[in-house]
Amino acid sequence: MEKNEAEAIKKTAADAGLPILCSDYLQSYLRAKKTAKLRQELLWKMGDLSPQDQPASVARLTESR
Amino acid sequence: MMENLHFLSALEAGSLIKTKKISPVEYAEALIHRIEKYDQSLNSFLSFMPEIALEDAKKAEREIMKGEWRGYLHGIPYGLKDNIDYEGVRTSVHSKILQDNIAVSDAEVTHKLRAGGGVFMGKLATHEFATGGPSFDLPWPPARNPWNRDYFCGGSSSGSAVATAAGFLPLALGTDTGGSIRSPASLCGVVGMKATYDLVSRSGVFPLAYSLDHVGPLTRTVHDNAMALELISGAADGTYTSQLGEELKGTRVGVIRHFHTQDLDCDPEISSGIENALHLLDSLGAAIEDVETAPLGEFATLNRIILSAEAYAIHENWLRDRPQDYASNTRERIMPGAFISAASYINSTRFRLKMARLLDSLFERVDVLVTVNTAVMAHLIDDEEARDRNHGQNAWSPFNLTGNPALSIPIGLSKAGLPLGMQIVGRHHAEAQVYKVAHAFEQASEWSKQHPTLSDFVLPK
């Protein structure tokens, strides 16, 4: 692993408050961060919501029929 | 003693018990014998409890002899996925972290099964914390597919499906947050129901993601499944069973075909199996039409953001304090939640309601929906590349997101002899309609009468 990459991963882990126990974990944190970023990018591509669009709740979900 | 009790349905066994043609003790002993003989090669049980089973069976026998019959599940053995509490028995959720965790009380669903006179046989394998898997770096090995033990059995309610398919139990409970009942039901060839969100209590069940978790039954027949749902949801007798056997004439079946023809790279054998199943439904009088909804990827994105954020909220402290005690695969599934922003989580729940309403609009035209279940065949259980590649190749997450009832039903066997499944989805609280369609299909196709042969692969002592 290159020094810059290792530093980036350590920062990723530290920002999330996650411990660094071995190099496997370092890779896991980086993959997790990339996965989260990808998912959020897919969410942003789904378009804009109206300010009136409320969060789902259990009651709203099952009463939506 | 009657032979071959192990593949009786719960209804058949319950009827024989009611009429005193078999005793609950004789039935429990037959299943205990089968589990002892074969489960060493399938690993479906984490905590096998034959002593409790025999006590429960003797109690059921005494009650029935006194005329105190409680229903068709009285004297019927069942198992619980190991994230569902049974007082005095370990709930490990298949994790080193909870390997000493003894439940102090029953989950609500356990209480209902006990009140119905069920015979508790033990706790069943899962994927660690009901996610990830199959993993080989845990205190217990993963469950294996009873149709071919070299293959993945699906998950995370893996032990529940394996034990049911293998003839160890006629009924097991599982949980489903993104397909964890329907995945193993499909790959093991049994019936698995994820009912409407909140219909079945989650009290006493270790959570994966609060707003997506569902508890539900896995059985070999649709009738057994409907009966079990009546019991664990507290519904009146007949709520989900009274429409079984009704004709399908006039029933409108919408097919979300783009899930498997466009959104997923579906195995041709599975596509062909679905087409055959639709032909059969058509021949039974159902009116089949194609319908469209949002791309599967949008449902999946929302499900994964919500799931990983909620799961991380549960595991945050353990992941910081003892990450080494998780399977590596579990860590990688939960940790993205550490990096999901609060805004993304909230916006996902806002999109979620829109998607639920979008799906609901389809039910103005049709009574049930049919979709692909998993789009890929079971992979070899130790093939990690295939495990990661196949993750997400399914149509389960939309219905955890929207809370609609979704049932997996067997539709045949692949050329390699592994089960194929299909998904039937209903309006919220319209489980009876889903069961009616599934039952008609089951009776016409008779796939539920096919069972794996276990004697071929018993491990040498």
Q: Which DSSP string do the residues of B136-155 spell out, in sequence order?
A: SSSSSPPP--TT-TTB---S
CB-based contact, A31 to chain B, within 8 Å: yes
Element holding B419 (H helix, E strand): strand B419-426
Could B344 and A49 be called an inter-chain contact, meaning their C-beta atoms sit closer than 8 Å? no
Arithmetic mean of pLDDT, B236-249 = 96
State the CB neighbour count (10 A cutoff) for residue B58: 15
CB-based contact, A49 to chain B, within 8 Å: yes
Tens-place pLDDT, residues B94-134 = 999 999 999 999 999 999 999 999 999 999 999 999 998 89
Residue appearing with tokens 């039409």: B289
Q: Which of B5, B50, B119 is nearest to B16 (CA)?
A: B5
The Cα–Cα gap between B159 and B172 comes to: 9
Could B347 and A49 be called an inter-chain contact, meaning their C-beta atoms sit closer than 8 Å? yes
Could A31 and B427 be called an inter-chain contact, meaning their C-beta atoms sit closer than 8 Å? no
Q: Are B157 and B126 in contact (CB under 8 A)?
A: yes
Q: Are strands B77-81 and B171-176 parallel, antiparallel or unpaired?
A: parallel
CB-based contact, A8 to chain B, within 8 Å: no
First to last CA, chain B: 28
Q: How far A61 CA sits from the closest chain B CA (Å)?
A: 6
Question: Which residues in chain B touch residue A29, judged by CB atoms under 8 angstroms apart?
Answer: 335
Secondary structure (3-state) at B75: coil
The Cα–Cα gap between B265 and B376 comes to: 8
Q: Minimum mean pLDDT among B58-62, B89-93, B133-137, B362-366: which range?
A: B133-137
CB-based contact, B201 to chain A, within 8 Å: no
Tens-place pLDDT, residues B312-344 = 999 999 998 888 899 988 988 999 999 999 999
The Cα–Cα gap between B340 and B337 comes to: 5
Secondary structure (3-state) at B289: strand
Arithmetic mean of pLDDT, B1-17 = 89
Cis peptide bond N-terminal to B139, omega within 30: no
Q: How confident is the model at residue B461 (pLDDT cuts 50, 70, 90)?
A: very low
Q: Which of B297, B341, B352 sits opposite A40 (nearest CB)?
A: B341
Is the backbone of residue B69 left (phi > 0), alpha (psi -120 to 50) or beta? beta
Does residue B456 register a pLDDT over 70? no
CB-based contact, B112 to chain A, within 8 Å: no
pLDDT for B409: 98
Does residue B292 register a pLDDT over 90? yes
Measured in residues, chain B has a length of 461
DSSP state of A39: H
Q: For B353-400, give the DSSP string.
A: HHHHHHHHHHTTT-SEEEEESBSSPPPBTT-HHHHHHHTT-BS-HHHH
Tens-place pLDDT, residues B71-80 = 999 999 999 9
CB-based contact, A59 to chain B, within 8 Å: no
Burial zone of B67 (CB within 10 Å; 0-12 exposed, 13-18 middle, 19+ buried): exposed
Q: How far B333 CA sits from the closest chain A CA (Å)?
A: 8
Secondary structure (3-state) at B326: coil
Residue appearing with tokens 């799906």: B359
Q: Are A65 and B426 in contact (CB under 8 A)?
A: no
B183 is an active site residue = no
Torsions phi, psi for B426 (to 5 deg): -125, 175
Q: How many DSSP H helices and E strands does chain B contain?
A: 15, 11
CB-based contact, A46 to chain B, within 8 Å: yes
Cis peptide bond N-terminal to B156, omega within 30: yes
B156 is an active site residue = yes
pLDDT for A3: 73
Pair of tokens at residue B170: 């006629």
* Active-site pick, B9, B23, B44, B81: B81
pLDDT for A62: 72
Q: Which of A25, A36, A62 sits opposite B403 (nearest CB)?
A: A62
pLDDT for B1: 52
Interface of B with A in 294-313 (CB under 8 A): 297-298, 301-302, 304-305, 308
pLDDT for A58: 63
The Cα–Cα gap between B238 and B39 comes to: 34
Does residue B260 register a pLDDT over 70? yes
Residue appearing with tokens 């002593």: B51
> How much is the ipTM here?
0.84
Could A58 and B198 be called an inter-chain contact, meaning their C-beta atoms sit closer than 8 Å? yes
With a CB cutoff of 8 Å and minimum separation 6, the contacts of B157 are: B81, B124, B126, B130, B172, B174, B175, B176, B180, B181, B183, B184, B185, B192, B218
**To the nearest whole number, what is the mean pLDDT of chain B?**
95
pLDDT for A21: 66
DSSP state of B206: -
Does residue A64 register a pLDDT over 60? no
Q: Which of A13, A34, A10 is nearest to B323 (CA)?
A: A13
Pair of tokens at residue B57: 């069976």
The Cα–Cα gap between A17 and B312 comes to: 12
The Cα–Cα gap between B148 and B213 comes to: 29
Q: How far A5 CA sits from the closest chain B CA (Å)?
A: 18
Q: How confident is the model at residue A30 (pLDDT cuts 50, 70, 90)?
A: confident
Q: Which of B185, B119, B196 is nearest to B158 (CA)?
A: B185
Q: Are B286 and B253 in contact (CB under 8 A)?
A: yes
Q: How far A2 CA sits from the closest chain B CA (Å)?
A: 22
Q: How far A3 CA sits from the closest chain B CA (Å)?
A: 23
In DSSP terms, which residues pair with B326 in a beta bridge?
A: none
% residues pLDDT > 70 (chain B): 98
> Which of B196, B198, B199, B301 would best serve as a mutation to test chain A binding (most A beta carbons within 10 A)?
B301
The Cα–Cα gap between B78 and B49 comes to: 11
The Cα–Cα gap between B118 and B76 comes to: 5
Could B319 and A18 be called an inter-chain contact, meaning their C-beta atoms sit closer than 8 Å? yes
Q: Which of B198, B304, B335 sits opposite A29 (nearest CB)?
A: B335
Q: Which of B320, B337, B403 sits opposite A61 (nearest CB)?
A: B403
CB-based contact, B254 to chain A, within 8 Å: no
* Active-site pick, B156, B158, B308, B348: B156
Tens-place pLDDT, residues B164-194 = 999 999 999 999 999 999 999 999 999 999 9
Question: Which residues in chain A touch residue B320, judged by CB atoms under 8 angstroms apart?
Answer: 17-19
pLDDT for A63: 65
B81 is an active site residue = yes
H-helix segments, B236-341: 258, 268-283, 296-321, 328-334
pLDDT for B74: 98
In A, minimum Cα distance to B352 occurs at A56
Q: Which of A60, A7, A13 is nearest to B356 (CA)?
A: A60
Could A39 and B305 be called an inter-chain contact, meaning their C-beta atoms sit closer than 8 Å? yes
